[in-house]
Amino acid sequence: MPGGRVLIFVQHLRGIGHLQRAAAIARGLAAGGIKVDLVSGGRPVAEIDTAGISLHQLPPVTSPDDSYTRLVDEAGREVGPAYHARRIGALLRILETARPDALLIEMFPFGRSQIAEEMTALIEAARARTPKPLILSSVRDIVAAKRSLERYEEMADQVVAWFDAVLVHGDDGLIAFGDSFPPAARIRKYLHYTGYVLPPAPRVPARASDGADGEVLVSAGGGAYGAALMRAALDARGHGALDRSLRDAPWHLLTGPNLPAAEAEALAARAGPGVAIERMRPDFRALLARARVSVSLCGYNTALEVIEAGVPAVMMPAGTGRQNEQRRRADALGRRGLVEVVAEADLSAASLAGTINRAAAKRRAQVTRARPIDLSGLDTTHRLIAAWLEGEPPERSASLASSA
């Protein structure tokens, strides 16, 4: 059984997907005998499973809107230098106490520039330790668009200067890292594709799996971006363009924990007979397995759960401007024939109804016959980190990316 200790730092700002993925990686490492400290810098999320790992909560910061240009505390107040200094102090104390053999930083330097001073302080403190821990970056399949080519080059410079390896949690057969990160060739020797990170389905009481067979399941992930989709779904259910059998089917809306309370109340007031509305379900994947159609956003975690289930699916990628990660992923899945896509700009009751009709016309066998996607991210991430902790140099790893 491998040993060692890994410190993971994750910062989620709007949704909860980053924290979900980091926690899944942490649990996977812990299950393989590695001690794990998970540091979260965002709002606490009670629904996240942290069994078997040590969770450390920083004074939280979030982004109050989709511009990601401001950070606020739990009371909605903008944070300043003193607040960041408090968080840095907490990070350095955790580093000193944990004395990790590896430091795994989620998203940075490919994102989280809002807290770059915190990330830099943590990395510099780790690099000053003797022995120096491995310093690893953990990044999803797609990097959000940046303001200039120079910004991408700065990130590549930071990889070269500070990191021993970059774990890319994706499948280059579906989406190559270089598709969203232009200087990927410069850091090719650092890149290790792990496959997508899909944690084991959670164990939940049998009574929790009480969704109806054949329902239309509408979900919004964490809920920060889902209000428009939820409203359109209720309108689409009653639209004349929707197939009659789908109008008569039970509908199930999962709004997500971050949907504003006023929005959730408005949806509940509009929902008629045959529509169930809940915030979140621990058995989401069990519901997907029995649904006739899934309608969702295209965040990392939701997309993987939908694809794994093989359910006919509609995805509306959220995000505007440079926040194009969901659009890129949805386009790739749509080209593969795995999902039907409706653009956020085109979202209406009629467009959503038509897209749901097209998805529902597919059989599950048609979806699952598409080229498989690598979902081995948890196992591969554990195998790589365990090997590195035992002394194998990252640059010699057999999973070194063959393309960028």
Tens place of pLDDT per residue across the chain (404 aa): 467 999 999 999 887 889 999 999 999 999 999 999 999 999 998 878 888 999 999 999 998 877 778 899 999 999 999 999 999 999 999 999 999 999 999 999 999 999 999 999 999 999 999 999 999 999 999 998 998 999 999 999 999 999 999 999 999 999 999 999 999 999 999 999 999 999 888 776 544 556 667 999 999 987 777 889 999 999 999 999 999 999 999 999 999 887 888 888 899 898 889 999 998 888 999 999 999 999 999 999 999 999 999 999 999 998 766 678 999 999 999 999 899 999 999 999 999 999 999 999 986 655 555 557 999 999 999 999 999 999 998 876 654 444 44
Token pair of 208 as six digits: 């929790």
Q: Specify the pLDDT at position 205.
A: 57
**What is the rounded CA–CA span in Å between residue 135 and residue 271?**
49
Predicted pLDDT at 261: 85
Other residues' Cβ atoms within 10 Å of the Cβ of residue 133: 22
Q: Which of 186, 185, 169, 227 is CA-nearest to residue 10? A: 169
pLDDT at 401: 44
Q: What SS3 state is found at 295? A: strand
Q: What region, left, alpha or beta, does residue 274 occupy, with left being phi > 0 and alpha being psi -120 to 50 degrees?
A: left
Are residues 356 and 236 in contact, defined by beta-carbon separation less than 8 angstroms? yes
Q: Which amino acid is at 350?
A: A
Question: Mapping DSSP to helix (H, G, I), strand (E, B) and coil, where does residue 384 land?
Answer: helix
pLDDT at site 199: 87
Residue 186 burial (C-beta neighbours within 10 Å; 0-12, 13-18, 19+): middle
- CATH dotted code for 5-198+375-396: 3.40.50.2000
Annotated domain spans of the chain = 5-198+375-396, 206-368
* Pick from 370, 377, 247, 376: nearest CA to 312: 370
Task: Write down the pLDDT at residue 206.
Answer: 47
Instruction: Compute the distance between CA of residue 357 and CA of residue 220 in angstroms, rounded to an integer.
Output: 20
Question: Which sign does the torsion angle of CA 298, 300, 301, 305 carry?
Answer: positive
23-16-260 Cα angle (round to 5): 150
Q: Give the separation between CA 89 and CA 84, rounded to whole angstroms.
A: 9
Give alpha helix (H) positions in 220-279: 227-237, 244-248, 261-270
Which neighbouring-strand residues pair with 136?
104, 165
Nearest to 367 by CA among 324, 299, 315, 317: 315
Structure tokens at 259: 């949907």
* pLDDT of res. 211: 63
Residues linked to residue 5 through DSSP beta bridges, in sequence order: 35
pLDDT score at 66: 73
Architecture of domain 206-368: 3-Layer(aba) Sandwich (3.40)
**Could you tell me which of 110, 108, 127, 128 has the C-alpha nearest to residue 118?**
108
Lookup: tokens for 2: 């491998």
Residue 94 neighbours by CB distance under 10 Å: 18
Q: How far is CA 172 from the centre of its chain?
A: 17
Q: Does 206-368 match 5-198+375-396 at the fold level?
A: yes
Sequence-ordered list of residues with C-beta below 8 angstroms from that of 175, at least 6 positions apart, any chain: 141, 142, 328, 329, 332
The answer to whether 316 and 343 are in contact (CB under 8 A) is yes
* H or E element that contains 336: none
Cis peptide bond prior to 131, omega within 30° of 0: yes
